[in-house]
A and B are shown apart, each in its own frame.
Chain A
Amino acid sequence: MSSETLIPTAGSTLEFEPFQFQQATEIMLEARDLTRVWGKGAAAQTAVDRVDLTIHRGETVALVGPSGSGKSTLGGLLAGIDRPTSGSMVAAGTRVDQLNDDDLARWRGLHVGVIFQDYHLLPTLTASENVELALKLNGHRRGRRRAAEAALREVGLAGKTHRLPSQLSGGEQQRVAIARAVAVRPELLVADEPTGSLDQATGHAVFAQLMGLRQRGTTIVFITHDDELAAGADRIVHMVDGRVVPGAVAS
């Protein structure tokens, strides 16, 4: 299937930079001294501690490390769903840490797709409507229905577009979440243990679908406990106690 089916072109208000594989060295995201402290005073806990991280356009990065090492916190910062306590982050040419709430939301909509372990689909919307909503929130005015159905077809849910989340299995819900995240053609996709709630077979199938996006040049950061999955990434970033430790392995 050509990637054309996924791109809502007619009437789209978005401008996408054309994907050029050879530009893989272009910087997508650059974090400097990124720090996130949870809590205050005696209870303060530094979940992400002065992290420097550069991710290139089109790169696939696996974020691994022991539980509580700050992977999710870092993922949230990269996806713009959280704000750093200090440090800077430039992504897709924008100083993300300095945006106000609304601009941050818009930036997220335009550039980032997030996938959670618990899917977080809107429970009152059907699979297709969930995807349509993401398109609507990001300024797509026409052709949303078609684009949504195409995205769901791509993840193998062609027959289930009218199901509500409660009528879908976990694996199916996660695939709706992937369709929702990619339908808007984000430049950066952040997935926090996207297969963590699924059994291994389903998890691997869903993961394969996620990895399919690499061909479209999407930059992917995924968090995982599964070494086998991590091995599929271009680069593995290890975290321990909020810090990125050396030992990155190129696949």
Chain B
Amino acid sequence: MSSLTRSIRRAPARIIASIMAIALAVGAIGVFAVPSVAAHSLRELALDDHIAHVAADTTPIASVDQLDLDGVEVVEGRVSRSIATPEGLVRVIGIDFPNQTINIVEPDLGELPGIGQALVSEGLAEIGDTVTLADTPLEVVGVGNTTWWATDDVVYTQLADAEAITGVDGVNRVLVRMVDPRSESLDTAVEDLRHSLNASGERLESFPITVPDGRHPIEQDLIQTSTMIGLLGVVAGIVALTLLASTTNTLITERTREVAIMRSLGGVRRPLRRRLRGLALGIAGAGALIGIPLGILVANVVARVVLTRFTGITPAFAVSWTVMGASLAFALIGARLVAGRAARRVTRTPLAEALRDREGSPFGGRWSDRVLARMPTGGLFERMALRAGAHRRARTIGVMVQLTAGVAAVVTVASLGTSIAAFDEAELEPWNWQSSVQAVDAGLPFDAALAGGDDSIEAAIVEVGEVGDWEVLVFGLSPDTIMLDNDVREGRWLDGSRGVVVSAGFAANQGINVGSDVDIALASGVERYRVQGLHRSRSLDFYIPIDVLAADLDSEGQVNTFWTTGSPDQIDMVLPAAADLITIDELQAENVEARAVIAKIFWVIGLIIVGVSVLGVSSAMAVNLYERRHELAAFQAIGGTKAQMRRVLMTELVPQALVASAVGAVAGWYGSIAIIGFFESVNAVEIGTVFATSMVPMATVAAVAVVALIAATAARRAAKRPVAVVLRGAA
């Protein structure tokens, strides 16, 4: 530590720049922690709200007491139904407030409602207002929500009021908390629930949501976004590692002469080495100490932006100790390894050599130097540039690796952006409908015949199901639908028999082939279908003939969706249940908006990484130019002007930047493929990599601009200091 403080006193700017660079690098690794910070915040909320392990929509039942379930901690029945109001859809939820133990609703303002009263989600109404639903006026006495419904407009009332408003006789939503909240136990609970309902002539209206292990249901929705962000941590890690290695190496190498003097005065190698390592560890440690809080901040800010934007939940502050501990270990172990090697080299350099030239080993010592000196290629400036680069090759490689990493990061981030955009487009691309009307609540409430004879309107079923552990979308479609392009990549399209066409990407990931059977867990139970085709759809979609699916769901002739190739007002039928109307343009606009948020996050992370690499390049170049200050002074002494000095430096650095950009583009290409490939395999979804080609020239220009700026700054600084002052140390 004492050697650290001494070093800081001697060259404050450079040491502090090193510490800050390492701090920023360690901070960037904090991006890794985004998924775990987001998940952690959500789990805290799950704990607070007593989130249900199983939530099931059922046909109305008198009471949950009639259900026969094993291993249950607590079961609660509720009323839940959406009501169309002039202001839009409102979910009405009836709760037995004195006995609520699951998905607990607490007022942020006011109090829980009694009969004739309501508690509403924020923004829907104020305390004291009266809301009228289905001719029932309710006095608003409280504002609040549970995080389960964080993005919805909800009116909470007493069970009796909800029954009156919705017409549900009894309860139609069952919430369960299990003693054993693990996945298998929840699956059993769903089975028990289904049997118990069926035994009394009732049934599940949709595939129940199961939330194992104290998670939050929203976690599933966010996991993709946050993993994608977390994966950028890999890029940050690589850039950080390069920076750490080159900074540490530089710190020790520049002490070659000083160490040589101590050795010549009788200094023993081992303690000298220990001191050098101590210095490197001190700087890495100091960097990590600043970097870790920075990383915690980065992770929390990003997690917060993602959560509030996509779930309406404002998370509490959380720290991923694993990631922070790992980045501290990473900084210290990395510094120790690099420092060990550099220190060994420095203490082994022959004394005569180390003492003779304060600018390191002289040019001409290696055969490659002599070959270069014999190669009169280009003008004098070009020769100087090439040889200077070759002479300080470790420094050159350091600069180029940092630039490469920066370019690769930019290209990767941009490619992730373009790939996601392309994926969004591709996801909607096979669909031909323009407008869709879909029931909001569970079940198949619409008569398929409502579509009438209009060719531009089609009835369909869209249900959530489960295949393996994957939540999938199950579509019931007419085999000769015009709403979905039915050309398959493999096999054949639906023909009305008991077959299924599956998204090709998911099928490939799960080893599902044409001709094999898949078991799909539906509300009505597990059903088996023969795979007869693979579709280019990018989601996790299963297409089944509508009649087959309706029969399997015990609802012949019933559907929950109408599609039209025309405008929304084409669907002018009177629907018996609340429905959501959306056009494909709106869907696209929503995608674009969501992408813009993700893009922003990506760019923030990208900029942090670029910042790290620019800092790294600048600090490497600062050292490089410091070592060459006598050379630059001599250049000026014989008449070299600032502009000429800049030209020499540009001649040296611009080709390095160009090579680094090319390598960075290739690395970014493979990096994007690797990240998206990883993402595809863990999410069983086909995304496809769309390389951000247009980013390559921009990144190249930026890399050249960075080195040009460094060259200009260095030339300006060198020209300012009188030659005599610089050379005095050398004379």
Contact = CB atoms under 8 A, between A and B. Distances in A.
B731 interface: yes
A117 B731 contact: yes
A102 B635 CA distance: 13
Contacts of A133: 380, 384, 635, 638
A101 B331 CA distance: 43
Contacts of A116: 634, 637, 727, 730-731
Interface stretch (B335-343, B357-365, B577-585): B357-365
Nearest to A72: B731
A158 B369 CA distance: 22
B384 A125 contact: yes
Contacts of A122: 384, 631, 634-635
Given A120-B727, A164-B370, A164-B373, A180 B364 contact: no
Interface string B619-634: 0000000000011011
B468 interface: no
B383 interface: yes
B637 A81 contact: yes
Interface in A111-160: 113-114, 116-118, 120-126, 129, 132-134, 136-138
A125 to B, nearest CB: 6
B731 A129 contact: no
A110 B724 contact: no
B386 to A, nearest CB: 9
Interface in B692-731: 719-720, 722-725, 727-728, 730-731
A123 B359 contact: yes
Contact of A73 (B362, B364, B373, B724): B724
Interface stretch (B122-130, B244-252, B264-272, B641-649): B641-649
Contacts of B383: 124-125, 129
A81 B722 contact: yes
B642 A136 contact: no
Nearest to B360: A123
B374 interface: yes
A56 interface: no
A132 B378 CA distance: 13
Contacts of B631: 122-123
A166 interface: yes
A23 B503 CA distance: 98
Contacts of A136: 379-380
Interface in B636-663: 636-644
B364 A105 contact: no
A113 B387 CA distance: 26
A138 B373 contact: no
Centre residue among A117, A123, A137, A184 by max chain B CB count within 10 A: A123
B642 A118 contact: no
B724 to A, nearest CB: 3
A167 interface: yes
B719 A134 contact: no
Given A110-B639, A164-B364, A166-B365, A105 B380 contact: no
A106 B641 contact: yes
Contacts of B730: 116, 118, 120
A138 B636 CA distance: 11
B363 A123 contact: yes
Contact of B639 (A162, A164, A167, A184): A184
Nearest to A134: B638
B391 interface: yes
B731 A101 contact: no
Given A82-B724, A164-B369, A105 B363 contact: no
B548 interface: no
Contacts of A137: 635, 638-641, 644
Contact of A166 (B363, B384, B636): B363
Interface in B495-527: none
A63 to B, nearest CB: 14
Given A101-B720, A166-B365, A72 B639 contact: no
A58 interface: no
Contact of A82 (B359, B387, B725): B725
A93 to B, nearest CB: 18
A83 interface: yes
B388 interface: yes
Contact of A72 (B362, B369, B723, B728): B728
Nearest to A101: B719
A165 B639 contact: no
A232 interface: no
Contacts of B633: 120
A108 interface: yes
A87 interface: no
B639 A108 contact: yes
A14 B438 CA distance: 87
A124 B638 contact: no
Interface in A152-196: 162, 164-167, 180-181, 184, 192
A5 to B, nearest CB: 20
B388 A124 contact: yes
B197 to A, nearest CB: 85
A124 B637 CA distance: 17
Most buried by A among B359, B374, B388, B637: B637
Interface of B: 359, 362-365, 369-370, 373-374, 379-380, 383-384, 387-388, 391, 630-631, 633-644, 719-720, 722-725, 727-728, 730-731
Given A108-B639, A124-B388, 12 more contacts: A76-B722, A102-B643, A105-B641, A105-B719, A113-B638, A114-B638, A116-B637, A123-B391, A124-B387, A133-B380, A136-B380, A164-B369
Q: Which 4 A-B pairs have the closest CB atoms?
A: A109-B639, A76-B724, A82-B724, A166-B364
